[in-house]
């Protein structure tokens, strides 16, 4: 990215719908789209899908809520991100390049981790399930580190809007495949006569096979030019020097910015409202009386359409309005969407009501995610430590999902479902107050070109 200007950034140029459509078909954008699917696929396997498996196995809600802690690697990934920025993976880096080598390596490790989780049994050994889920989260977080750096470095400015919308839409599709897709597969395997535990195992094995989509994409991609230049600039340094420069440079460069700590607090809290309610959505639907297939069919069908529309709507909002205004829109939408589930709790078992609630959540969540990722990308301005800096930001954004949301199950048990989802709206207030403060301090005007 270029150096930030003192003046406010110029509004994005208007383009015709034909030009907008053409840019979505650019090879770099299509590569980013497929990598987005690969990034989104494993998240639910150690999250919401695993929670459904555990609930069906008879695990109590309190324990299920604590399983949010297995997402710790998403929060701590900035610790090993400098290794991804600086170190070479034997054979892989030499054969495929700095970013692509790490992509292939991390995806192969992820496949192995998912297969290990598939062999566990929540009813008999929840501890081994937790360890398996933790390993999947760690490998998934490592893949995210590389994909995020690859995306930020590979797309030119005129392809950022299409790339970001495609990435987020594909990410959400990957999550839907590993939620609704797994639930459908488990049911299908059960109809063949195998037991429930084996059906869940083969559902996870199928997801491990789908990770190969990302591997093939990485092999077909081209190493980003920014990464090649950064590699050439540090070729004379030792591995230790490269790691230290990536780690120290990423943190020191960011922390010297105006209002850096406030910006980091905003990053932590912006998606908290989504995470707090999202942690308990699957158990809520099951407790309400819907079957596994009811939930899967609606998430896979109506939810998928809402996700796609929301992803591209978020791209439009980010191009049409300033970054601060876009964040206001995304923040308000994703918070108030939780009221749809409070309403569903009063309605009861009604498939149309469930379809509406899921659609509202997926649509607004996709909008908020596109805009938020645009903001995070705008904060990363140096290819020498893109992976480390972006990993730090996304790790902080995972604090809400991993730690602040870990008590959501106990809150739901204490308050009941309608009040729980009303509370999940109120937890958005701190992030909106920080957004107002940053806007008043002209924080968004100091950023370079916004990568949306």
Classify residue 81: in a domain, yes or no: yes
Give the model's confidence band at 384: pLDDT under 50 very low, under 70 low, under 90 confident, else very high: low
Residue 294 to residue 355: CA distance in whole angstroms: 10
| pLDDT tens, position by position, 328-337 | 999 999 999 9
CA distance 155 to 451: 9
- DSSP string covering 58-110: T--HHHHHHGGGGGHHHHHGGGTHHHHHHPPPTTHHHHH-HHHHHHHHHHHHH
pLDDT of 288-313, one tens digit each? Answer: 888 877 777 776 677 778 888 888 88
Question: Rounded mean pLDDT of 23-40?
Answer: 87
Mean pLDDT of the chain: 84
The domain tally of the chain equals 1
- 5 pLDDT band, cuts 50/70/90, is very low
What is the average per-residue pLDDT within 200-212? 95
- Of the two residues 46 and 159, the one the predictor is more confident about is 46
6 in a structural domain: no
The percent of residues in the chain predicted with pLDDT above 70, rounded, is 90
Q: Give the domain extent around 339.
A: 18-223+238-446
With respect to residue 229, please indicate whether it lies within any of the assigned structural domains: no
**Reported confidence tier of residue 11, pLDDT bands at 50, 70, 90:** very low
Would the pLDDT of 8 be above 70?
A: no
State the CATH number of the domain containing residue 381: 1.20.1250.20
Query: Is position 415 within any domain?
Result: yes
Whether 7 is covered by a domain: the verdict is: no
Q: For residue 451, tell me if it sits in a domain.
A: no
pLDDT digits (tens, 9 = 90+) for 109-166: 999 999 999 999 888 888 888 899 999 999 999 999 999 889 888 877 667 767 777 8
Q: Once rounded to an integer, what is the mean pLDDT over residues 97-116? A: 95
pLDDT at residue 23, rounded to an integer: 62
pLDDT: is 403 or 81 the higher one? 81
Average pLDDT of span 177-189: 89
Residue 452 maps to a domain: no
Residue 32: Cβ within 10 Å count: 27
The CA-to-CA distance between both ends of the chain, in Å, stands at: 12
Q: What is the pLDDT of residue 10?
A: 46
pLDDT at 444 exceeding the cut of 70: yes
- Considering the domain boundaries, does residue 68 fall inside one? yes
């Amino acid at each position: 990215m270029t150096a930030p200007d003192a003046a406010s950034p110029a509004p994005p140029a208007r383009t015709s719908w034909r030009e907008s459509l053409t840019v979505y078909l650019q090879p770099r954008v299509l590569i980013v789209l497929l990598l987005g699917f690969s990034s989104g696929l494993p998240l639910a396997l150690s999250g919401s899908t695993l929670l459904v498996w555990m609930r069906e196995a008879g695990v109590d809600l309190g324990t299920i809520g604590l399983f949010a802690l297995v997402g710790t690697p998403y929060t701590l990934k900035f610790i090993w991100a400098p290794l991804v920025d600086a170190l070479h993976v034997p054979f892989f880096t030499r054969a495929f390049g700095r970013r692509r080598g790490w992509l292939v390596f991390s995806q192969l490790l992820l496949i192995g981790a998912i297969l290990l989780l598939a062999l566990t049994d929540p009813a008999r050994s929840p501890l081994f399930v937790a360890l398996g889920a933790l390993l999947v989260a760690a490998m998934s977080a490592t893949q995210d580190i590389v994909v995020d750096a690859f995306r930020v470095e590979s797309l030119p400015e005129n392809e950022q809007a299409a790339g970001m919308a495609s990435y987020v839409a594909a990410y959400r599709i990957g999550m839907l495949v590993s939620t609704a897709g797994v639930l459908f597969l488990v049911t299908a395997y059960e109809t063949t006569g195998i037991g429930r535990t084996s059906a869940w195992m083969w559902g996870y094995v199928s997801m491990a096979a789908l990770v190969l989509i990302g591997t093939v994409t990485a092999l077909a991609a081209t190493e980003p030019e920014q990464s090649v230049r950064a590699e050439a600039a540090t070729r004379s340094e030792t591995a230790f020097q490269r790691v230290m420069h990536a780690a120290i440079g990423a943190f020191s460069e960011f922390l010297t910015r105006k209002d850096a700590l406030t910006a980091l607090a905003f990053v932590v809290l912006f998606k908290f409202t989504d995470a707090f309610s999202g942690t308990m959505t699957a158990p809520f639907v099951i407790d309400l009386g819907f079957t596994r297939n009811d939930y899967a069919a609606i998430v896979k069908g109506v939810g998928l359409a809402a996700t796609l529309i929301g992803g591209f709507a978020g791209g439009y909002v980010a191009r049409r309005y300033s970054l601060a205004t876009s964040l206001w829109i995304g923040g308000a939408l994703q918070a108030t969407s939780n009221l749809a589930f409070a309403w569903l709790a009063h309605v009861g078992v009604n498939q149309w009501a469930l379809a509406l609630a899921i659609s509202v959540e997926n649509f607004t969540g996709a909008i908020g995610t596109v805009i938020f990722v645009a903001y995070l990308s705008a904060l990363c301005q140096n290819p020498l430590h893109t992976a480390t800096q972006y990993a730090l930001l996304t790790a902080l954004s995972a604090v809400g999902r991993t730690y602040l949301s870990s008590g959501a199950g106990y809150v739901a048990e204490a308050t009941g479902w309608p009040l729980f989802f009303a509370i999940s709206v109120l937890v958005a207030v701190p992030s909106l107050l920080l957004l107002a403060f940053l806007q008043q301090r002209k924080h968004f005007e100091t950023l370079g070109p916004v990568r949306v």
